[in-house]
Amino acid sequence: MTHIFRYSTSSPCVFIDPSSTIPSTHSHFAVLGQNVSLTCRLHPNVEHVVWTHGEEVMITYRRDNSLKSFFRVSPNKTLEIDLQQLQAELTILYAQYNDTGNYSCEQFFKEGTSKASRFYLQLQGYPRLSLETKTSKNSYFVVANCCVEFSWNAKEVFIIWAQQDIIIREGISKPTAQNMRFIDFCDHVDIRSSHNIYGKILTCLVPNKHNLSSWIQMNVTYPATVKILTSTAVKIRKGDEYIISCNSDGNPPPEPKLERKIDNTWRILPITPTAHSNFSTNNITWRFSLAKAYERVDGIYRCTAYNGIGTQSFTESVKVVYRSNRYEWYLDVSRYTRRVSDTLRTFSRSLRPFGNGSNLPDVCYNSATSGEETNTGKIYVGEDY
């Protein structure tokens, strides 16, 4: 006798259909938690039918004048007899491991003979997928575990791992646990660079008759990191808006702080940053604004971040130098009596290489009296850099 085993991943039912009543036993496996139908084809002269599970008689049907009969065998089993279609269908609702094993549909006739169809039902569980974050000496990484249960004595199970539909590992898993009802097969994979996997899909697939799989979005935790985006040497002038930008990553996402070094001690500044998040990641850019620089803001700054995992992260230091809009020099040129003929523009060009005003030329001129003799000069030079 041939049994046809039909299954569909989109349907909650599995059908097992005997095509004759020749005594035989066939093994079939279904999915844990799905509905299973065992259908026994009846002989036209059948008088009564006995369904058994293992050594237990579940129900005995005796023929009457009804063409169709329906029975509740147990809380999760029903039996339907259809004499027009000549079949007896046993349905197991939400099959569990205690429903596995041998089933028998035995038919009896007036002359005392009998015929039986036997089934051996086995179940496979859905893969169970879990994640955990671990720490090595220099990095954090994710360990993914995938376990799948079988109700029969399987020797090994093939498991495929995929990240964003790209296979990252495939191999054979041996039994890792066993009890009276099922055998557990587990496999694991280490995924490095946890900063780059946030939000991605990890899939565990058991490529057998059912092709069952489980997936999980990797919303894993990892420590905060922060880096500076601003130049480490900044020059600002009076009235300029002064902004320090830094970039942070981490889960849970941290909110960085801006610190300033005062008397060799880092002090947190009471400044609330503005955040700009990159889509679907925890990678965020933060902008700390000191508004208009009307006061001297010379100093050393840095960004720090901490999200409760690992240790505090901080950036390299940013050195800020404050410069006014102009320099003022007062120079004594009383020893010079010759008439001035240079222009202020010529003087500005000659002054540029001297930077902070040291080693100035011997002769300086007042822009208001350029072209006239003078004993003292007061020069205003606008900074251009």
**pLDDT, tens digit, for every residue of 105-154?**
999 988 777 888 999 999 999 999 988 877 665 567 788 999 999 987 77
Question: pLDDT category, 364, cuts 50, 70, 90?
Answer: very low
CB atoms under 10 Å from CB of 184, counted, come to 17
Contact 219, 232 (CB under 8 A): no
CB atoms under 10 Å from CB of 186, counted, come to 18
For 289, the 3-state DSSP assignment is strand
Contact 79, 88 (CB under 8 A): yes
For 352, the 3-state DSSP assignment is helix
Predicted local confidence at residue 178, as pLDDT = 82
d(CA 187, CA 207): 14
Q: Is the pLDDT of residue 367 over 50?
A: no
Separation in Å, CA 14 to CA 7, 37, 71, 76, 118: 5, 6, 20, 15, 17
Q: Rounded to two decimals, what is the model's pTM?
A: 0.57
Provide DSSP, 1-58: --EEEE--TT-SEEEEEE-S-S--EEEEEEETTSEEEEEEEPPTT--EEEEEETTEEE
Predicted local confidence at residue 316, as pLDDT = 82
Predicted local confidence at residue 241, as pLDDT = 76
For 368, the 3-state DSSP assignment is helix
User: Which tens digits make up the pLDDT trace of 218-272?
Assistant: 877 778 888 888 887 877 777 777 788 888 888 888 889 999 888 889 999 888 8
Predicted local confidence at residue 347, as pLDDT = 47
d(CA 348, CA 351): 5
d(CA 89, CA 7): 17
Predicted local confidence at residue 249, as pLDDT = 84
Those residues whose C-beta lies under 8 Å from the C-beta of residue 337, and which sit 6 or more positions away, are 373
d(CA 320, CA 228): 14
Q: Is the pLDDT of residue 5 over 60?
A: no
Task: Say which residue, 159 or 192, is predicted with more confidence.
Answer: 159
Contact 163, 142 (CB under 8 A): no
Predicted local confidence at residue 336, as pLDDT = 37
Separation in Å, CA 373 to CA 254, 329, 341, 381: 65, 18, 9, 20
Angle ∠(202,141,227) on CA atoms, nearest 5: 110
Those residues whose C-beta lies under 8 Å from the C-beta of residue 104, and which sit 6 or more positions away, are 50, 51, 52, 116, 117, 118, 119
Separation in Å, CA 61 to CA 20, 99, 230: 19, 21, 84
Q: Give, rounded to a whole angstrom, the gap between the first and last alpha carbons of the chain.
A: 94
- Mean pLDDT along residues 346-360: 46
Percent of the chain with pLDDT over 70: 71
Predicted local confidence at residue 32, as pLDDT = 92
Highest mean pLDDT among 16-25, 207-216, 232-241: 207-216
Q: Is the pLDDT of residue 157 over 60?
A: yes
Q: What is the largest CA-CA distance in the chain?
A: 148
Task: Say which residue, 101 or 382, is predicted with more confidence.
Answer: 101
Predicted local confidence at residue 95, as pLDDT = 94
> b/e string for 312-344 if b means 16 or more Cβ within 10 A?
ebbbebbebebbeeeeeeeeebeebeeebeeeb
User: Which tens digits make up the pLDDT trace of 289-300?
Assistant: 877 655 667 788
Predicted local confidence at residue 380, as pLDDT = 38
Those residues whose C-beta lies under 8 Å from the C-beta of residue 52, and which sit 6 or more positions away, are 58, 102, 103, 104, 106
Average pLDDT value over all residues in the chain: 75
d(CA 355, CA 383): 10
Question: pLDDT category, 185, cuts 50, 70, 90?
Answer: very high
Predicted local confidence at residue 220, as pLDDT = 76
Contact 231, 316 (CB under 8 A): no
Closest to 17 measured CA to CA, from 33, 32, 28 = 28
For residue 339, what is the DSSP state?
A: P
Predicted local confidence at residue 59, as pLDDT = 93
- Mean pLDDT along residues 66-70: 90
